[in-house]
Structure 1
């Protein structure tokens, strides 16, 4: 031993002798690598952190040295692996000939750069009507918010005065509040909505059932056809407004706000009745747009303005968000408002929070009350214009027929999809939309040959507004309770971790201030859920396109024995989706809150004994697993695969057999650890992917037992059957030919000219067969469907007769497109042009 080490040992013994009899309150010899505590005799004692040892925790233990060495080896292995990957990738790119990926000249001429897109395309897309609607929406929203501020401010001032005088915190509702609502049911607009529905039913015509009875009138009206593209944005906004009503029901379910006298069955019946009342309130608004008549739009316009006005009054004077009234004072006895006053103050902060939380809801309402009058004016203008034309032999088309006929139009989305089937990816024209050029393609690639159905937009608008409402309420209502929650949880954590044998040692897991971790956790849960929803939206498009071309790599292949399951799953899709998203949001928030508390505890206190014990057990295992994984990757790419992993062929076969022999026993030890990690990953993945119905945590073999994934499969299959672009184009073309024959038969002024054989289109049979072969090669699923159809036609002659005598399509009311893109005049001009 050297003299220097001897002197250090002597100094340590002297220091220990000097401080004997002292405790940690007067002397802390443990330093930054140990916890100082007092034993039973009142003397100090050190508890070392991580891999430190010694009486004063000033020596590195052998385990610590080994962990450091293993960490260095892992770092070196990572550098070698990724360094070689970058080197070989760069060398491969230099050796391969450069490929000139030229864009289509037409697309380059249209959109040469982003500046041109901003100046030209955005200018064309920003129509005058859209700007006018946006300005009116801003005005109506501002007026509504100012009105609510003026109505809520007297109530706020009254309760502030009672709070300062320590009086009971509640206000007396106006007498007309009992006329507007009864037990959370809007009983003033509900009868008006029922009356409007009766009017719509009386003036609606039947299309198939008993058309001769009562001249075809008195028919049920539907609010929206989810497989039709009629005012998708309008329907999505209405569903977003309905989402605000659903937040109250969700809060009642989660918090269990029920009366003690009510039974379980009665509670569920009342909630179902509330949902039905909410649906009937907005039924006339949706059905009026679907009917698209002057009477329906006029009634819906007045009803929407009335309902919007009563909603402002009801939510300001009758059912305020934070201020208890004489009707609901017994629920909390004013304690919630007292806590809010203590946290946010008695100024205008609470009113400002109320107004800001109502902005999304009022923006949606403003769009409804502005859009309905504009639709009414447009309908009146078109009706007057058609009457002035006064065409005697004009062919009248229903809205369903217009949508179906538009599917076969050259500029339709369905025809664009069919046209792209015969083109490679490089030959397809890029989208002219500004968003398509603005969003990077690795995030989302915009396609002009696909359009989401109305159901998807309605579901997503509902979910987005629900998430916004829950996030705002979670931040506003829970923050005042954070201190109480922190104290309670600290007591529970101290009880679980136990009391240390050393007196004066800090807690095993001291909790920091809950406010920053809670806010970060809520925002992180909101962002993660939004990202998951957008990813699911892209996956819905990909899965639908896969089903269109017969690809069952992700969605199980369609089976006839599961048609009933697909239908019921399609029924449950929307409800399951909303429920899964809400629970996924809650679980993600809880998980993120725990992680943020742990990180904040380290940042606040510098060290936490409970977390150090966990990390001390986890870090060596993780380093060993990472070292083994990257060693296997390095050997697999550069030792056991040909061409550095570019070819799936074994290289160095003998060495590989020897490696597999010894690796057989080595991985058996890591298998137990991997199984534990697998369970932890399943729990974390299940929480983060709860809102993803396209992802089943049970795995591919057991995914059918997942009710959420089964509902998603049912939705995809039903959607693909009724919205297949190829089917819509073919049916639209056949229906157009049939309508053309009907128009020629009824027209007495048009003389059909004899066909000239010179003008006949001599399409080669070989070309037609080539097109058919290309279509079947790119859509292999259609091959089996075509064979099955040909066998049915050969074996059953009745089907041929049925096809020849058919007068209408069975799915004609379900396959739709935007009605404003085709009219009766366009169809007549096209037919006359073909005839002439």
Structure 2
């Protein structure tokens, strides 16, 4: 009897009423608020929806009345809270004195009151140079030519497979013999040896800067593809990495789908994937290293190699390896079933060809930029060399690439010098950016700053990630949509098994699956938008965290610890790879979560009622209403009862009433704490899925964030980046190094203009004496440093004295007994009186 009463109180909505002589197949007595089912005797039985009751589910149950009442109270509390908040804000504004509007400032760049028309006429003309417009026009022309060539190469394969599809023949095409050379065991063996040969030439023609400079006249030095900690040719490097993203997509798809040869072991498969990544890197190594070396030989070689690589790539992905059309080399993977599904869904017309051309559009635009930019750099370099040769300029001072980059930091218009100048200016006195695009971006979303530039590494990683997202989205839409009908049947069978559809009393499904086409496309679009927004927010967080580390703020990033330098370095190694992996998995998890949510919403819209979801909502809605009610009740009490000046000051008001409230709230929140723990787990799962692509966010919390490998990699990247790209350090080092190089240039010029008959002997001075002399000169020329130096020396002496002092005297046991945690003792009063009396 007790169990029956408890069940009737907890689940009043499961009230069943039977009718005799009729079943649900002939008559539905339950109406729109109930589900009709047949019992073992063939009589109709009504199961009421939500909080309805009665024989035919026409009466509101007591639980329903309570839920409605609680909902009304919650709405009333929310209206009261926000109404009072608006009233307080209006009253606060009226009480504040009126401030005079500041005069419009005029900075060094543009006027602050300039309108959009003036910006369009001045700044756009300055930013849009003739060379940029010329490159853009050539890019479009070259991209159209390349896509047309690919269309002509794919069209015969498409027509051949369409004929085979119409006669029900095996769907594959015969590859040409040259494809076996280009694609030997999934490795491009036509351009790979040429890339290795060019890298060898670059190594021979490069000079060493530090190691064994007297051997082989300084030549045979290692070449780097690009310097990740500078912002020189960032756009060029980012475009190269964007091109590599298309080839990395195939490796990512293999990891996701698990497609690998069955006769090979796990270790061999992983080693082959690592080797394929290294081969991809070596194929693009000469192009990047040539742009960084900036020599005539390197640029000319890279130009011819880039054109050859592009032509081979167009031919390879048209005649040798295609996204949709299987060849005799990979026909055994699917036996042509995937192409049959695509033909049946998209038709045998030109739709597949158009989709493939559209998919290659971003990659070909990037290739067009590289193919045009390299010849322009070569011509520009040859022109400067001819001018220098005809002008007979002095070559007493030869600077390396690294020295030129460092010396650029002390130029007045450099990013580092702008940052240093802004340190001594108020925020209102800083110059406004001249970029037209920067002025169009709302400052609430992102505020453009001319004194900061992202490094080449950030540009390259983001270019790779965005192209990967575009390619992954296109592949997910094109390849998965034709299989959604099969997925509907599979999901319906699985859900029916979970909800026990085989029960004979049920005449309709607990969770009918709607058509998956619209929910799937919305889920993919949602995942792409959410991931893109998260990436943009992370980009702003990287700049903010770097600024914080520059000025010693450790509010978000843990303070740099000497014992963790090894961890920072290894985390910096993993940053790019972890970032790409986290973004892809965040994209997949967000798409899966959104897909489930959109299926539930579509099921409600299509079928009007879903019994399985209604049972879940009946348990969740009362709990959520109770939590929201308690939350807004606490907000009203905290702001208008227990805080002074309506929450403007963190000071307690009505102290005695607060103590009484805290006493009873202690027992009340014990129940809500259990519910809140469940909500906490659900929020953690949802937040972990949505914030998977954010390396600056750790779902483990502030105390355990160092155990998160992604966040540890992000911290290592930020610390290493801040150490090597600190604007103040770079500006100072550039200025000192520039003065040294200037004196060296003057000295070499004076020596070369006079006849030197003998070797000049340099007198060697003591390094300690030289340092003291330089210190004296520095202090004489900068008197303000004297006080700072004295203060620093005095602090060091005080620290040494503190380490030599013995521990303070401990109180006796009798004295400790008089002391209490929150009360002042008589001994303390006597001590205070004695101290005041002595004074």
TM-score relative to the length of structure 2: 0.87
Q: Who is 1:25 aligned against? A: 25
Q: Distance in 2 between matches of 1:18 and 1:700?
A: 57
C-alpha RMSD of matched pairs (Å): 2.5
Is residue 122 from structure 1 mapped to residue 124 from structure 2 by the alignment? yes
Shift of 1:504: 5.1
User: Does the 8 A contact of 1:103 with 1:426 survive in 2?
Assistant: no
User: Does the 8 A contact of 2:484 with 2:516 survive in 1?
Assistant: yes
Shift of 1:749: 8.6
Give the paired residue count: 760
| 3-state SS of paired residue (1:109) | coil
Q: Distance in 1 between matches of 2:377 and 2:251?
A: 33
| 3-state SS of paired residue (1:46) | strand
| 3-state SS of paired residue (1:36) | strand
Gap change, CA 1:209 and 1:767, over 3 Å in 2: closer
Q: Who is 2:34 aligned against? A: 34
Q: Who is 1:720 aligned against? A: 722
- When structure 1 is superposed on structure 2, of 151-160 and 380-389 the one drifting more is 380-389
User: Does the 8 A contact of 1:393 with 1:747 survive in 2?
Assistant: no
| 3-state SS of paired residue (1:325) | coil
Q: Distance in 1 between matches of 2:279 and 2:212?
A: 30
Q: Distance in 2 between matches of 1:262 and 1:772?
A: 71
Q: Who is 1:243 aligned against? A: 245
Gap change, CA 1:766 and 1:48, over 3 Å in 2: farther
Shift of 1:229: 1.9
Q: Who is 2:687 aligned against? A: 685
User: Does the 8 A contact of 2:465 with 2:580 survive in 1?
Assistant: yes
Structure 2: 5+ residue stretches without partners? 1-15, 755-776, 801-839
Q: Who is 2:291 aligned against? A: 289
- When structure 1 is superposed on structure 2, of 597-606 and 412-421 the one drifting more is 412-421
Gap change, CA 1:262 and 1:750, over 3 Å in 2: closer
Q: Distance in 2 between matches of 1:220 and 1:518?
A: 50
Structure 1: 5+ residue stretches without partners? 1-15, 753-762, 777-782, 796-836
Deviation track 1:634-687 (CA, whole Å, cap 9, x = no partner) reads 111111111111100111111111111111111111000000000111111111
Q: Who is 1:46 aligned against? A: 46
Shift of 1:399: 2.1
User: Does the 8 A contact of 1:39 with 1:501 survive in 2?
Assistant: no
Q: Who is 1:58 aligned against? A: 58
Q: Who is 2:362 aligned against? A: 360
Q: Distance in 1 between matches of 2:338 and 2:503?
A: 41
Shift of 1:789: 14
User: Does the 8 A contact of 1:104 with 1:429 survive in 2?
Assistant: no
TM-score relative to the length of structure 1: 0.88
Q: Distance in 1 between matches of 2:467 and 2:319?
A: 23
User: Does the 8 A contact of 1:232 with 1:454 survive in 2?
Assistant: yes
Q: Who is 2:304 aligned against? A: 302
Q: Who is 2:402 aligned against? A: 400
Matches within 5 A, 1:4-403: 20-99=20-99, 100-106=101-107, 109=111, 112-392=114-394, 394-403=396-405
Q: Distance in 2 between matches of 1:67 and 1:667?
A: 20
Gap change, CA 1:396 and 1:765, over 3 Å in 2: closer
Q: Distance in 2 between matches of 1:750 and 1:111?
A: 55
Q: Distance in 1 between matches of 2:62 and 2:19?
A: 28
| 3-state SS of paired residue (1:176) | helix
Deviation track 1:173-200 (CA, whole Å, cap 9, x = no partner) reads 1121112111110000001101111111
Shift of 1:412: 1.1
Q: Distance in 1 between matches of 2:706 and 2:42?
A: 64
Gap change, CA 1:521 and 1:771, over 3 Å in 2: farther
Shift of 1:152: 0.5
Gap change, CA 1:240 and 1:791, over 3 Å in 2: farther
Shift of 1:751: 11
Q: Distance in 2 between matches of 1:768 and 1:692?
A: 46
Q: Distance in 2 between matches of 1:789 and 1:506?
A: 85
Q: Who is 2:770 aligned against? A: none
1:464 aligned to 459, 463, 466, which one? 466
Q: Who is 1:442 aligned against? A: 444
Gap change, CA 1:321 and 1:393, over 3 Å in 2: closer
Deviation track 1:156-177 (CA, whole Å, cap 9, x = no partner) reads 0100000000001100011211
User: Does the 8 A contact of 2:531 with 2:693 survive in 1?
Assistant: yes
Q: Who is 2:588 aligned against? A: 586
User: Does the 8 A contact of 1:638 with 1:645 survive in 2?
Assistant: yes
1:646 aligned to 636, 639, 648, which one? 648
Is residue 473 from structure 1 mapped to residue 456 from structure 2 by the alignment? no
Gap change, CA 1:426 and 1:751, over 3 Å in 2: farther
Shift of 1:246: 0.7
Shift of 1:208: 1.2
